[in-house]
Structure 1
C-alpha cells in the first residue's frame, strides 16, 4: 500500500514541537522542584505536601477526561484542538507564576494558597497540553510523518526539560541573591512569559487537516464502547502512567539525594545536565522504527533505562560520581526513546479508534495527561509520604531512616517500575492495530 504524501512543512513542524517546549518550561519546574519549594522554601510539611499532591492528581484525572470531552465537542473555525492553545495560554502562564508566589499567610493560609494555585495550574496545564497529542493524528495521514512530528515534539520538550533541570537552581540563586523565595518567583516569571509566546505561536502555525465530520462528535456512550475494544490504547495508557510514576519519584528525589546524602546540592545541575542524552534517544526513534516496530523500539528503550539504573545503583552505593553520572547518561537515552514514542503511539490508537467509526482524539489523547497526572500524583505521594514517615526535617542533618528512604526512591523503586513497564508492554497488540488502520 502506497503511503500518503507528506502534508506539513518545517515551520509548522517546529511550531508544533515548540508547544511541548512551552508546556515543559512550567511542567518541569513542577515535577522537579515544586516539592522542594513547598518544603524547604515555602515552609509546608512533607505530610501536607503529600496530601496536596494526592488531591491535585485526583482532580487532574477528572480534568483530563473533561478536557478530552471538551476537545471532542468543540465546534470552531479553527478545529477541535487548535483553539485550546489560544484560549488557555494566558491563564496557564499567570497561574504558573501564582503557584510560586509566597504570601506571608498563616500555616493554614499558606496551605490554602498552595491548594488553590496548584489545583488551578493542574487544570490549565491539561488544557494546553492535551491538544498537543489530540491534534497530531489530524495533521497528517502519513505514518512516517506522524513519527517525525512526534520526534520533533519530544526533542523540543526534552531539550527544555533539561534546560529547566540544569538552570533552575542557578537562576534561583542569580535572581534571589540569597533569597530563594524571590529567586523562584522571578525564575518562573521568565519561564511563563516564554511559555505564553510559544503556545500562541503554535496556535498561529499548526493546522488540523483530517477530521471526519461524520464521526468527529460521537456520543460519550459510543466513545466508551470503543475504548473498551481499543486494547492498544489501554496498554499504552498503563505504560504512560508507569513512566511518569518513575519519573516523578526519581526527579523529586534527586535534589534530596545530593543535598542530604552527598551533602552537595550544587551537584544537582551537573547531574541533570547528563540527562541531555535523552535527546539521543529521541533522535534514535526515526532510525530504530525503520528497523523495528514501535512496540519493540519502546521495549528496547526500557531495557536501556534498566541498564542505566543498574549502573546508577553502583554509583550510589560506591558514591563514585563518574559511575553515578554514567548511569544517569545511559538511563536518559532509554528515557528519550520511551517518552518520544508516547504521543506517536497514542496517535496510532486514535487512528485505530477511527477505524472503528469513532474519531475521539480528545478522549483518547487525554490518556497522556491522565497518565502524567496519575503518575506524578502517586509519585509525589510515595516520595513525600515516605519522607514524612521516616522523620524528614528540612534543612537539617537527616536521620538514617530518611537516608534509606532517599536511596529507596532514587534507586530501587525505579528498577521495579521499569521491569513492570516491560511486562505490561508485552501485551500491546500493534499488529492488529496496524492492519485495521491500513484497511
Structure 2
C-alpha cells in the first residue's frame, strides 16, 4: 500500500512537471520541419500541378479531396497506433524517429513529376501524394500527441503551444516568402524540386532533434499498467465529447479557410493584381498579426485564457474580406484586408493544439477513458478534410471557370472564381469559425477537471 502511494505521488508530480524552455525550443524546432512540408504542399502543390506539371485543374481538385479524405482515415489509424505503442522512448517519440527520413524522401518525389504523358503523370501524382500522406501522418500525429504528453499543467501547455506557434510562423514565412522566388530563379521543374529537396532535408534533421531532446511525462506509471482502450470504446467516448466535436468542426472550417488563403492567393496575385511576385508580400502580411501577438500572447493567455483571445481575434478576422471588396483590383486595399484577415489565423497557430489536447482531459474526466493519440488524430482528420476541401474547391472552381494554367489572360468566369476563392468564400468561413469558437467554453471548466483527475489518481 505504501509503495502504491509513493508510486501515485511520483505519477502526479510527473504530470504537474512542466518542460523547461530548452526542451520547448527543441520541440518547436521539430515542428518547424513538419510545418515546412505542410506549407509547401498546401500552398504550392496545386499551382505546381496545374502550371508546372501541366495537369488540368479539375483533375487536381479531385486529387486533393480524395487524397485528403484518405489522409483523414489514416489519421485515425495512426492515433490508435500511438495509443497502443509501448517502448522505452514512450508512445509518440519513437514514431518521430522512425518516419522522419521517409517523409523527407517523399517530399522530394512529390515535386518531381516526370514528363511521361497525361495518364502517366496522373498515376504518378496519385501514388506519390498518397505515399506522402502516409508518412506525413506517421510524423504529424505523434508530434501533436507529444504536446499533450510533455505536460498536463494548463499554462505550461499553452506556453508550449506558443513555442510551436513561433516555429510554425517562421516555417510558414520561409516557404511562403522564398519558395516561389527561389523556384523561379532556378527555373521550371528543377526549381520546385530543389525547394522540395531543401524542405525534405530540414524535416529529417528536425525530427531527429525533437526525438532526442523531448520527454513524455503525462500518464506515467499509471497508464503503463492499464490495458489498451478498445477502439470502439474510444471512438464512442470521442463522439460524445462535446468539446472535441466543436474543436474538430472548427478544424474543418479553419483549415478550409487556410487552404483557400494559401492555395488560391498565388492565382489572385497573378491574374487579379497582375504580378505573381506580390504573393510573397501577401504571405508576409497575412501572418503579421500573429508575429506581433507573439510578444504579448503569454501574458494575455494567463489573464484572459486561450478561448477568449481566440474568439476576439476571430471576430476581427471577419472584416478582412469586407475590406478587400472595397476595390478587389487594388494592391494596397488587398494588403490591408489581408492583415485584418490574418487575425483569424492566430488561433490556428497559437492555441489550436493545446485546445485539442485539453479535450483529452475532458474526455478522461467525463468518461474515464484517456486516448491522447485518438483525440489528436481525429481532430487532425478535421484538419485534413478542411485542407482537402479547400484544395478541391480551388481546382473545381477554376475548372468551372475555364482556367488554363500558364496562359497570360483567363476567362472572365475564371477571374470571378478566383475572386470567390479569395474573398467571398473566406468571408463565409470566417463567420462559421467565429461561431464555433464562441461555443467552445472548456477553459472555464479545465482547472476543476484537472483537480478532479489528480484526486482520482491519488
TM-score, normalization by structure 2: 0.90
Counterpart CA distance in 2 for 1:434 and 1:219 is 28
Equivalent residue for 2:4? none
Which is worse superposed, 109-118 or 167-176? 167-176
Report whether the alignment pairs 1:295 with 2:303: no
In structure 2, the CA distance between the partners of 1:164 and 1:170, relative to structure 1 (3 Å rule), is: same
Deviations 1:384-404, CA, capped at 9 Å, x for gaps: 101111111112211111111
User: Residues 216 and 359 of structure 1 are in contact (CA less than 8 Å); yes or no, is this contact kept in structure 2?
Assistant: no
- Asked if residue 435 in structure 1 is aligned to residue 443 in structure 2, the reply is no
- Alpha-carbon offset, residue 382 of structure 1: 1.1
Q: How many residues align?
A: 433
Give CA-to-partner distance per residue, 1:364-400, whole Å, 9 cap, x none: 0113421221011111111110111111111221111
> Does the CA-based 8 Å contact 1:85-1:200 persist in structure 2?
yes
Counterpart for residue 194 of structure 2: 186
Shift of 1:3: 13
User: For 1:244, which of 250, 255, 264 is the aligned residue?
Assistant: 255
Q: Does 1:384 align with 2:395?
A: yes
Q: 1:216 to 1:229 in 2, by over 3 A?
A: farther
CA RMSD in angstroms comes to: 1.9
The 1:91–1:304 alpha-carbon spacing in structure 2 relative to 1, beyond 3 Å, is same
- Structure 1 runs of 4+ with >6 Å offset: none
User: Matches of 1:283 and 1:59 in 2, distance apart?
Assistant: 38
Q: Give the counterpart of 2:92 among 68, 81, 85.
A: 81
Q: Does 1:52 align with 2:52?
A: no
- 1:134 aligned to 132, 138, 145, which one? 145
Please tell me whether residue 424 in structure 1 is matched to residue 432 in structure 2.
no
Partner of 1:279 in structure 2? 291
Paired with 1:334 and 1:288, the residues of 2 have a C-alpha distance of: 17
Q: Who is 1:351 aligned against?
A: 361
Shift of 1:5: 5.6
* Equivalence map 1:310-321=2 (5 Å): 310-316=322-328, 319-321=329-331
Distance 2:276 2:63 in 1: 25
* Structure 2 equivalent of residue 149 of structure 1: 160
Counterpart mapping for 1:27-426 below 5 A: 27-176=38-187, 180-211=188-219, 212-215=223-226, 217-277=228-288, 278-316=290-328, 319-355=329-365, 356-396=367-407, 397-426=409-438
**CA–CA separation in structure 2 for the residues paired with 1:215 and 1:232:** 25
Change (3 A) 1:283 1:344: farther
SS in 2 for 1:314: coil
Contact 2:273 2:330 in 1 (8 A): no
Does structure 2 conserve the Cα–Cα contact (< 8 Å) formed by 1:65 and 1:363? yes
Task: Name whichever of 411-420 and 336-345 sits farther off.
Answer: 336-345
- Check 1:365–1:306 CA distance in 2 against 1; reply closer, same or farther (3 A cut): same
Unaligned runs of 5+ in 1: none
Structure 2 gap segments, 5+ residues each: 1-12, 453-458
Using the TM superposition, name which of 345-354 and 240-249 deviates more. Answer: 345-354
| CA distance in 2 between partners of 1:414 and 1:346 (Å) | 23
Contact 1:282 1:337 in 2 (8 A): no
The corresponding residue for 2:455 is none
Question: Distance in 2 between the 1:98 and 1:374 partners?
Answer: 23
Is the 1:301–1:338 contact (alpha carbons within 8 Å) kept by the matching residues of 2?
no
1:242–1:417 CA contact under 8 A, matched in 2: yes
If the length of structure 1 is used for normalisation, what is the TM-score? 0.94
State whether residues 18 and 202 of structure 1, in contact with CA within 8 Å, keep that contact through their aligned partners in structure 2. yes
Summarize the Cα distance change of 1:43–1:90 in structure 2 as closer, same or farther, 3 Å threshold.
Answer: same
